[in-house]
Every structure is written in structure tokens, then in C-alpha cells.
Amino acid sequence: MLAAVALLAVAPLPRPLAAAQARLPVPLRQAMERIVWTPARVDSLILALPQVETHLHLDGALSPRTIRELAIQQNYKPLAQLSVSQIARKVVVQKKRDSLGEVLQAFRTIYPLLRTPQAVEEMAYQAVAAAKRQRVMYFEGRFAPALHTTPTFSQEQVLEAVLRGLERGRRDTGVRCGVIICLLRGIPGVTREDNAQMARLAIAYKDRGVVGLDLAGNEAAEPLSDFAEFFRQAKQAGLRTTAHVGEVPGSKDIETALELGVDRLGHATLLAKEPALTREVLRRGLPIEVNLTSNLRTNAVADLKQHPLRSWYEAGIPVTLSTDDPGIFGITLQHEYRLLPRLRFSAQDIATVAYEGIDALFLPEADKQALRERFEKGLARTLKRIAKQPPFTDLGGR
Ligand SMILES: [Zn+2]
């Protein structure tokens, strides 16, 4: 019995798990090991953790409050007369839907409001303001210019309006955002030429705010391979790439994404059913943008316990946690981190996920290093405070 206890005390963590945790700098790891982690303390950690976000749609981030303000400004009859909670009932997907297609319908309600320079600028500004409220240091916001155009509002003008909103947000809050342009599939009215134009625009604005190219929309409608030439052009021009893949059964998009050499995978929940592809993702160290609530509400994953996040993390696949559409799902990034203990993530694991998310960003190494230093300082401060906190009192991350 004694021997067994001794063995337990020195038993190493499973190797990949130890390797993942080892990524936190040693002094922080030691400081975390000295703390007795009660659920209240883990929660305090989550609320105070400096974060980055890789997968956030600017249109999906609009809150019912902002939607109402835009509706009143534009005298948009279907929404202007409604209260914030009435609008929330129309646009917030609170429960699981049968498919991704159904969730996309929630977007249709808000699009008529997002076709003026002022509204698009405000959409971008509000995303930065929300990031600031959640201790997000930097995020990558994505959108599709083609969804906002009118005969007098071009794709380029849409992008310029977004960049103005992000810059105004940065000046007011200090939070920066890199733009990812989303090509679209299966969206009525969006043509091949619209997508070609968006790909050209992304390349033209590289180093002027745009950091990457993505493919969004309905995966069931059209394969990623149809968009291969745009991804190759973007890569050649030095843009980073990601794609929404592996969300709907029967899709070959994860394989195609690997062939195209994308830099991250969005969602990729069905990767769990593909051992050979999983090994390849691991070999490349390809980060997966994980969006837990989104995966549950679009029914990509039946319940949280079945989500592959934990097995990816244990295998050593880099994972980054994001909200996808915080407005549409009525969530925050902190809400997503609060789901991690239910997947057996310890305090150290949670801090490791937040820290390693920085590696996955589409930023130059010097910028990532600056974010790592901010994270390390912020976490060190938080740990000192938590160590003094009574173990069972939630101090709400102050
Ligand atoms: Zn998404």
C-alpha cells in the first residue's frame, strides 16, 4: 500500500500531457503547483486570465443591444420597435439546433442592418469593446465583405469601414484585432466572382490590417476543394489561412485543408473519427480553433462530454479556445473557458490552453512574444492574489 502511494506521488503525467503543461514558464508552473485548486479558485483564474481569441465572426459578435441601436438609427421597421429582450429571442441561439444551416438563419435577421459604412464600423468597434471587457489582449476577427455590399458600398469600402471601427476600438481600449477575410460557400446570392474579389481584397490588404483568409458558410453545400485556387493565391502572397472544416458528416474538407497547407483548422470536430488525419495534424503541430458552445448548438457534437477537445489536448495537438459567434450564442470567451473543468481540465491545463493560443495567432513572432510577456505578468499577478484568497470564496476575478 505504502509502495503504491509512493508510486502515485512520483508517477509522471502521461507524456504528451506533461509536455503540454511544460509549455508554461517554470516559475508560473511552480506557482500554480503551490496553490490548492478549489472550483472557486479555478473560476477566479478563468475570470482573470489574459486571453487571445482566434475564431470570432464580427457579425456573429453583435449583441442584441447593438442590433437594437442600429435598427433605431436606420429606422428598420422589423426590429426598431422591439425591446432588447425581444430582439434577443429572434437572434440568440440558446438551444441546440438540428444543423449548422439552421443556426445560419439567425444571421439573416441582422444582415439588412449591416449594409452602411456607419453600421459596419460600429460592428467592428463593438467587437473590440467586448474583447476589452473580457480581458482579451488580442483577437482575430473575421467577416465576409461580400455580405455587406450594396450598389453604392463596395467590398473595399466595407473592409475600410471595418478597419476604421477596429482602429477606433484600439485607440479607446488598447485591444488590437487582426482581420481574417471569409470566403463563403452555400450562401444565397454570393457568387464565385464575389469570392474571387474577396480573395483579391485580402491579398491587397495584407500588412494593412488583414492577416488571413478563411472559408466559412455551409460546409454541406460545397467542398473546400472548389476554393483551392484562392487559398493557393493567398498563401503565395504570404497570408495565413484557416478554414471551417469537419463540421458536417461526409465532408472531405479536413483532408483538403491539409493538402492546401492551411495554418489552422476551424472546428474540425469530425477529425476525431479520422485516426490517420489526426496523426498528420499532430505531426504538423497544426492548431485547431475550438468553439465548444458553437459545436453543441450546431449539433456538430451531441454533448460536451463527447467533444474531442480533451483527447486532442492529451495527444499534444495545439488547441485554441474561441467563441465563434458570441452574439448569436449569447456567450463570452470566459463562458467557454468555464466549460473546461467539465472536460477534466485542471487549472494548469486551462492556463496552458490560454498561453498556447498565442502560438497559433497569425502574427509575427515579435508580436507573439510581447503577448506572451503580458500573459506571464498577468498570470503571475493573478496567482499571487488567488494564493491569498480563501479557497472556497469566489472573488469574481477582481
Ligand atoms: Zn466560425
Angle at 249 between CA 245 and CA 254, to 5 degrees: 30
The SS3 call for residue 178 is: strand
What is the pTM (predicted TM-score) of this model? 0.92
Q: How high is the pLDDT of residue 313?
A: 94
Cβ-contact 155, 145 below 8 angstroms:
yes
- What are the pLDDT digits (tens) for 242-300? 999 998 888 899 999 999 999 999 999 999 899 999 999 999 999 999 999 999 998 88
Cα 132 to the chain's mean position, in Å?
15
- How many angstroms separate the Cα of 5 from the Cα of each of 53, 159, 204? 41, 61, 62
Q: How far is the CA of 324 from the centre of ligand 1 (A)?
A: 5
Cβ-contact 56, 324 below 8 angstroms:
yes
Q: How far is the CA of 105 from the centre of ligand 1 (A)?
A: 14
| pLDDT top residue among 13 and 382 | 382
- What are the pLDDT digits (tens) for 294-325? 999 988 898 999 999 999 999 999 999 999 99
Q: How far is the CA of 215 from the centre of ligand 1 (A)?
A: 9
Q: How far is the CA of 343 from the centre of ligand 1 (A)?
A: 22
31: its cell numbers: 506557482
Cβ-contact 395, 38 below 8 angstroms:
no
Q: How far is the CA of 7 from the centre of ligand 1 (A)?
A: 45
Q: How high is the pLDDT of residue 85?
A: 94
Q: How high is the pLDDT of residue 13?
A: 46
Cβ-contact 166, 128 below 8 angstroms:
yes
Q: 288-304 burial string, b = 16+ CB within 10 Å, else e?
A: bbbbbbbbbbbbbbeee
Give 108's pLDDT tier (boundaries 50, 70, 90): confident
Q: How far is the CA of 266 from the centre of ligand 1 (A)?
A: 7
Percentage of the chain beyond pLDDT 70 is: 91
Q: Could you say which DSSP state residue 275 is in?
A: H
**Residue 48 dihedral angles phi and psi, to the nearest 5°:** -105, -5
> Rounded to whole angstroms, how far apart are CA atoms 242 and 41?
35
Q: Which domains does the chain have, with CATH numbers?
A: 51-322 (3.20.20.140)
Q: What would the DSSP string read from start to end of 125-171?
A: HHHHHHHHHTTEEEEEEEE-GGGG-BTTB-HHHHHHHHHHHHHHHHH
Q: How far is the CA of 352 from the centre of ligand 1 (A)?
A: 23
Is the per-residue pLDDT at 11 higher than 90? no
Q: How high is the pLDDT of residue 90?
A: 86
Q: How far is the CA of 325 from the centre of ligand 1 (A)?
A: 7
Q: How far is the CA of 355 from the centre of ligand 1 (A)?
A: 21
Q: Cell 487571445 sits at which residue?
A: 52
Q: Closest Cα partner for 310 from 20, 27, 30, 85?
A: 20
Q: How high is the pLDDT of residue 16?
A: 57
Q: How far is the CA of 190 from the centre of ligand 1 (A)?
A: 17
Q: How far is the CA of 344 from the centre of ligand 1 (A)?
A: 25
Q: What would the DSSP string read from start to end of 205-253?
A: TBTTTEEEEEEEE-TTTS-GGGGHHHHHHHHHTT-EEEEEES-STT--H
Q: How high is the pLDDT of residue 107?
A: 83
Q: How far is the CA of 216 from the centre of ligand 1 (A)?
A: 6
Q: How high is the pLDDT of residue 47?
A: 95
Q: How far is the CA of 3 from the centre of ligand 1 (A)?
A: 50
| pLDDT top residue among 103 and 78 | 78
Q: How far is the CA of 25 from the centre of ligand 1 (A)?
A: 31
Give 4's pLDDT tier (boundaries 50, 70, 90): very low
* Amino acid in the structure at residue 339: L
- Angle 275-284/253-260 helices, nearest 10 degrees? 30
Q: How far is the CA of 241 from the centre of ligand 1 (A)?
A: 14
Is the per-residue pLDDT at 100 higher than 80? no
Q: How far is the CA of 18 from the centre of ligand 1 (A)?
A: 30
Q: What is the mean pLDDT of residues 165-170?
A: 98
> Rounded to whole angstroms, how far apart are CA atoms 328 and 248?
20
Q: Cell 464580427 sits at which residue?
A: 58
- What are the pLDDT digits (tens) for 129-165? 999 999 999 999 999 999 999 999 999 999 999 999 9
Is the per-residue pLDDT at 228 higher than 80? yes
Q: How far is the CA of 380 from the centre of ligand 1 (A)?
A: 32
Average pLDDT over the chain reads: 91
Q: Is 85 exposed, middle or buried (0-12, 13-18, 19+ CB in 10 A)?
A: exposed
Q: How far is the CA of 202 from the centre of ligand 1 (A)?
A: 18
Q: How far is the CA of 19 from the centre of ligand 1 (A)?
A: 29
Is the per-residue pLDDT at 393 higher than 70? no
Q: What is the mean pLDDT of residues 369-378?
A: 97
How many other C-beta atoms can be found within 10 angstroms of the C-beta atom of residue 248?
21
Q: How far is the CA of 192 from the centre of ligand 1 (A)?
A: 20
Q: How high is the pLDDT of residue 389?
A: 81
Q: Around ion ligand 1, which residues have CB less than 5 A away?
A: 324
Q: Is 39 exposed, middle or buried (0-12, 13-18, 19+ CB in 10 A)?
A: exposed
* Amino acid in the structure at residue 102: E
- What are the pLDDT digits (tens) for 169-223? 999 999 999 999 999 999 889 999 999 999 999 999 999 999 999 999 888 899 9
